[in-house]
A and B are shown apart, each in its own frame.
Chain A
């Protein structure tokens, strides 16, 4: 049983909605509403969901870019919100880094590659220029780029190469956890494989933990050990990747999988049984009562619109659905 590196307990992030001159709070956008998960050392947790599900907000909370409304983040068993400013600077931030979705905006367009990758080192360590320079070259080599690239600017590279630079930068401080928010969705199809393979190799080499956020299930399956499916601010299903994809429990998971599998047209033009959901994800400002998914669920029962489903553990998976109650 691997060690738990990071644990999120009942994370909640609500954004106030204000109206009028006096800015009264008239409601709350419940972007993240009671999310719990664990990330083990050396393993990848995939966080899947459609836009509005709250996955990016969760990632930002872990990166301390957003302040949680309630809930705790435990890093190696210690409460992150109780860390002092200097503890955060020395013990948390250097060990939790990120690679963002958009390789075109995640780097300062006015900095050269060598400065971009060196920055974490310059800011956090007292290494000499020479040491930093050699580390930069080392990192570039790790991600498959060469020493000739150091003096160029980001816009001189392709999307895939820029993501590699972003990965090199993320690794500069030898982090334990890297948060990857849609790391390949902005890249061309044939480049995605390159980057995903690179990430997996680095994970094996350095025993890195990843939190991968994606809406593409196939990407998540390829990269993750465990998966959490998010819908409207909550995790509706959670388990080991293999089991979850082979035997999905929650109706939403099944619909997502159905929408993502490569189904070939059959010879006699018969439609393959696809699960097509009706409607769209409701607004997190006014989540439906009871089970949040009931308004689109093909298996909805009377209970679903009244009672919030409990967490049900089925072997190594858990699911929040009345079908299993």
Chain B
């Protein structure tokens, strides 16, 4: 025999099951999109129907398959030199994602280390690191990127360098705040009483407890890093041709927006997808790990 409270409980759980699926879409969709793009990046050689630099002069500016004049041979059309847009977009994923992820890795690491040291040590060390962080934050990043590209010449490492040299400052700020908060916790005082050295405290106690903030920070910076890399490529100071980057592809189609919109549109959509996915995923993680919610 089912009592009324059991029935009510089942109903309640049923409603929340749907609610839960909807809420988790915030994670499922972005992860799906990003995974798809990463697979494109890794397996570009297999997935792309054409090499990225194969030109075909008779097939210039062919529209995508579903538009009149297009064919399934070049599903997303071709660009001004007859190169297959789909293939170039797939290879573009490789460039854009690898550059961005590497730059994120560097900036996150440097920023985290500085942030933890700054937040935990306090005093003059903190003041010093924060002043440098302020300088990095206030320096115009694009200007510096151009200067670097001009002096070092275009190339993979130039781009990484330009993207990383200022990007760490955001992390340093956030991580420092978190480190400061944790530093005032009872268990840190306890660690000091036990005799744990400051380095060990920073490594074993502070670092594991900032991971949530770090993960959110990293996820949310995917979008801005991709945009930065794309901006550099668009301006022509990124990865040099013929290797495609989404940014440079958008630049390539700049003059043909009226008659061959697909050349810029698809790489642009790709950039947009990555930015949105990163942001949605970051928001979802942030909500999930909100300490107030966790305590419930």
Contacts and interface: CB of A to CB of B under 8 A. Distances in A.
A106 B193 CA distance: 12
A11 B194 CA distance: 23
A98 B205 CA distance: 18
- Interface SS of chain B: helix
A120 B195 contact: yes
B151 interface: no
A119 interface: yes
Contacts of A64: 193
A169 B187 CA distance: 12
Contacts of A107: 187, 190
B208 A97 contact: no
Contacts of B205: 108
Interface string A62-89: 0111000000000000000000000001
B197 interface: yes
Interface string A90-107: 000110111010100111
Contact of B195 (A89, A108, A109): A89
A106 B200 CA distance: 17
A100 B195 contact: no
A136 B186 CA distance: 22
Contacts of B200: 123
Contacts of A110: 208-209
Contacts of B190: 98, 100, 106-107, 169
A63 B187 contact: no
Interface string B172-210: 000000000000011101111111110010000100110
Contacts of A63: 193
Nearest to A93: B195
B187 A105 contact: yes
A124 interface: yes
A65 B208 contact: no
A173 B191 CA distance: 13
Contacts of A94: 195
A63 B186 CA distance: 13
Contacts of B193: 63-65, 93, 96-98
Interface residues of B, number: 16
A197 to B, nearest CB: 23
Contact of B186 (A96, A100, A119): A100
A124 B196 CA distance: 8
A106 B187 contact: yes
A200 B186 CA distance: 24
A64 B190 CA distance: 11
Contacts of B194: 93, 97, 119-120, 123-124, 169, 173
Contact of A105 (B186, B191, B195): B186
A24 to B, nearest CB: 19
Contacts of A123: 194-197, 200
Interface string A102-132: 1001111110000000011001100000000
Nearest to B291: A109
Which of B195, B200, B209 has the most chain A CB atoms closer than 10 A to its own CB?
Answer: B195
Contacts of A109: 187, 209
A65 B196 CA distance: 13
Given A108-B205, A109-B209, A110-B208, A119 B191 contact: yes
Nearest to B200: A123
A94 B193 CA distance: 8
Which of B187, B196, B209 has the most chain A CB atoms closer than 10 A to its own CB?
Answer: B187
B259 to A, nearest CB: 58
Nearest to A103: B186
Interface in A6-28: none
A108 B209 contact: yes
Given A64-B193, A93-B194, 8 more contacts: A65-B189, A65-B192, A89-B195, A96-B193, A107-B187, A119-B194, A123-B195, A173-B194
10 contacts: A63-B193, A65-B192, A93-B194, A107-B187, A108-B205, A119-B196, A120-B195, A123-B194, A124-B194, A169-B194
**Closest 5 A/B residue pairs (Cβ):** A105-B186, A93-B195, A106-B186, A110-B208, A120-B194
